[in-house]
């Protein structure tokens, strides 16, 4: 996967690249072209963009922090958690260019999310990664071990310790 590189949205000079991105879901396209830079400037969501050697956008993801109610976590994943809101990192958006879907870019983006999460979790408390999936992406997250939060149709999570063990052994 060395053909891909990940950059912060701040580093994208040609804004037209953001406008031309199409993952097949209009809201995710619109977010990248209209709101991602602003949210980054505000510090409320960090967006990272995957580029190929020709600087075309292959995909992107946006991260933010979140809290999950104790009751939303399935019993088998609660461990010894206190009954307080639990700190989490939210994959606020993740999308791949629709022409390139099914070629491993989503998997690569998710691996980059995991690497960043492991780094962040060394300097602040984080227990879960969460994501609000779409009908079309449920199976993608399930494939990578995400489970549904209690009583939520499309909200998925994975415990960060599980990710760490998978990455770091």
Ligand X SMILES: CC(C)(COP(=O)(O)OP(=O)(O)OC[C@H]1O[C@@H](n2cnc3c(N)ncnc32)[C@H](O)[C@@H]1OP(=O)(O)O)[C@@H](O)C(=O)NCCC(=O)NCCS
The residues annotated with a catalytic role in the active site are: 141
Distance of closest approach, residue 17 Cβ to ligand X, in angstroms: 17
Which residues 79-118 are close enough to bind ligand X by CB under 6 A?
93-96, 101-107
Q: Give the strand pairing for 57-68 and 128-132.
A: unpaired
Which residue's Cβ has the minimum distance to ligand X? 106
The CA-based diameter of the chain, rounded to the nearest angstrom, is: 49
Element (H, E) at 92: strand 86-96
**By C-beta, is 70 or 143 nearer to ligand X?**
143
- Closest approach, Cβ 97 to ligand X, in A, equals 8
| Helix H or strand E encompassing 164 | helix 160-168
DSSP 97-120: -GGGTTSSHHHHHHHHHHHHHHHH
Nearer to ligand X, 81 or 115 (CB): 115
Count of C-beta atoms within a 10 Å radius of residue 58: 22
Query: From the list 34, 136, 145, 167, which residue makes contact with ligand X (rule: CB under 6 A)?
Result: 136
Minimum CB distance to ligand X smaller for 25 or for 120: 25
For 66, half-sphere exposure in the C-beta direction (CA atoms, 13 angstrom radius) is 20
Q: Is 28 in the site for ligand X (CB under 6 A)?
A: yes
Tokens (6 digits) for 125: 């408390």
Nearer to ligand X, 4 or 78 (CB): 4
Q: Rounded to the nearest whole angstrom, what is the least distance from the CB of residue 123 to ligand X in the complex?
A: 25
Question: By the criterion CB under 6 A, which residues form the site for ligand X?
Answer: 23-25, 28, 93-96, 101-107, 131, 133-134, 136-137, 139-140, 143
């Amino acid at each position: 996967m060395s053909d891909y590189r990940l950059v912060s949205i701040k580093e994208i000079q040609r804004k037209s690249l953001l406008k031309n991105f199409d993952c097949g879901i209009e809201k995710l396209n619109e977010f990248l072209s209209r709101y991602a830079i602003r949210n980054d400037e505000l510090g409320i969501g960090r967006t990272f963009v995957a580029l190929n050697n020709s600087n075309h956008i292959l995909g992107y993801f946006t991260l933010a922090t979140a809290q999950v109610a104790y009751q939303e976590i399935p019993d088998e994943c609660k461990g010894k958690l206190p009954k307080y809101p639990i700190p989490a990192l939210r994959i606020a958006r993740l999308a791949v260019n629709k022409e390139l879907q099914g070629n491993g870019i989503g998997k690569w983006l998710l691996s980059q999310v995991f690497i960043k999460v492991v780094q962040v979790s060394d300097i602040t408390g984080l227990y879960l990664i969460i994501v609000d999936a779409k009908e079309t992406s449920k199976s993608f997250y399930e494939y990578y071990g995400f489970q549904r939060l209690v009583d939520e149709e499309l909200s998925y999570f994975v415990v960060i310790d599980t990710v760490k063990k998978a990455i770091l052994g």
